[in-house]
Amino acid sequence: MRFLWRIAGVAYEQLVVFRRQWMWIAQSLVMVVCFTILASAWGGLEALRHMTVALLLASGWGVGLNSAAQWIGYDRIMGEYERRVASPLTPAEYILGSVLGSFIPLFVSELPLVLLVAAMAGISLSGLLLVVLLSVVATFLGLFLSLSVILRIKNPMNISAVTNPLYTVTTLLPPVFYSPLVLPEPLRSLCAAIPTAALVDMGKALTGHLHAYPLWVSALSVAAWLSATLVLMLKKLEWGHE
């Protein structure tokens, strides 16, 4: 039980701060509304279906890449990380708590709204459940990638100056909110190697919608990214002299 309280303790601190800085949560909700309007206006229900999957996965990705990673980065600057090393808290509990602390306010709060949009778009509940689970994978993948980068910055004065552009580059540039099918070859195939593009295409395959790559190709790409970024992160995530 004690390990659960330790994880909850890490998450609790973030949840309190997010409650006070509620504009972050408001921003997430407004994003869902805006993307729903945009997709419906330009492409009707078909676009809305694609957008819902993309939005869920991009949100999960953003929680890990931007929010949770930033929190850990600031913990290192402010001494909280150092303090926690000298305690029974393990690195796994710390990371899990940090992810939960961001995931609950930023992802779970927008979930009812996304589910409503998904129902309007005609996405099945089982398919949606799979996408939500895939969003958790996206969160961890985003976190691992972000930490692989920011833990290598010698003097991280402004971590968001790194994570925000990283989020934009990985979600708006590659085929995340648009289909890889509109891209010419070999660009279309090459995009399968981009983690966010692979995640969203996987999500579309799981919900039975039009997708660009065979499921195993996207899954392989995601698995490769997860393993590589996990190794890169662990090389720099020093928990004292452990």
Partner 1 sequence: MVARGLGKKFGSVWGLREATFELEKKSVSVLAGPNGAGKTTTTRILATYFKPDKGEAYVCGFDVVREYREVRRIIAYMPQEYRVSLDLTPEELVVSSLMKRGVSYSDAKREARRWLEALGMWELRGRRLWLLSGGERRRALVASVLAEPAEVYFLDEPITGIDVEGRYEVLRVLREVAAQGATVFMTTHNLSEAQVAADTVVFISAGVTVAAGNPQKLLESFPWRYKAFVNSRGELPGDVPHMRLGDRLVVYARAREELYELLRELEVDVHGVHEVNLEDVYLQMVKRWQP
Q: Which stretch binds partner 1 (CB under 8 A): 4-12, 41-49, 206-214, 215-223?
A: 4-12
Q: Which stretch binds partner 1 (CB under 8 A): 61-69, 165-173, 208-216, 234-242?
A: 234-242
CB of 147 to partner 1, least distance (A): 19
Distances (CA, A) of 79 to 74, 85, 127, 235: 8, 10, 42, 20
For Cα atoms 109, 112, 113, give the angle at the middle one, nearest 5 degrees. 95
By C-alpha distance, which of 165, 141, 148, 162 is closest to 61? 141
Alpha helices per DSSP H over the chain = 2-20, 23-62, 69-78, 80-85, 91-106, 111-121, 125-150, 160-171, 187-190, 195-206, 215-236
80 binds partner 1 (CB under 8 A): yes
- Nearer Cβ to partner 1, position 36 or 98? 98
Contact set for partner 1, span 8-27 (CB under 8 A): 8-10, 12-13, 16-17, 20-21
Contact 103, 25 (CB under 8 A): no
By C-alpha distance, which of 105, 171, 111 is closest to 141? 171
Q: Is the peptide bond before 186 cis (omega within 30 degrees of 0)?
A: yes
String marking each residue 138-177 x if it binds partner 1 according to CB under 8 A: ----------------------------------------
237 binds partner 1 (CB under 8 A): no
Longest CA pairwise span in the chain (Å): 55
82 binds partner 1 (CB under 8 A): yes
Distances (CA, A) of 104 to 8, 15, 94: 12, 8, 16
CB of 224 to partner 1, least distance (A): 33
DSSP class of 156: -
- Nearer Cβ to partner 1, position 157 or 184? 157
- Nearer Cβ to partner 1, position 48 or 69? 69
92 binds partner 1 (CB under 8 A): no
CB of 21 to partner 1, least distance (A): 7
String marking each residue 26-65 x if it binds partner 1 according to CB under 8 A: ----------------------------------------
- Nearer Cβ to partner 1, position 16 or 133? 16
Positions in the binding site for partner 1 (CB under 8 A): 1-3, 5-6, 8-10, 12-13, 16-17, 20-21, 78-80, 82-89, 97, 240-242
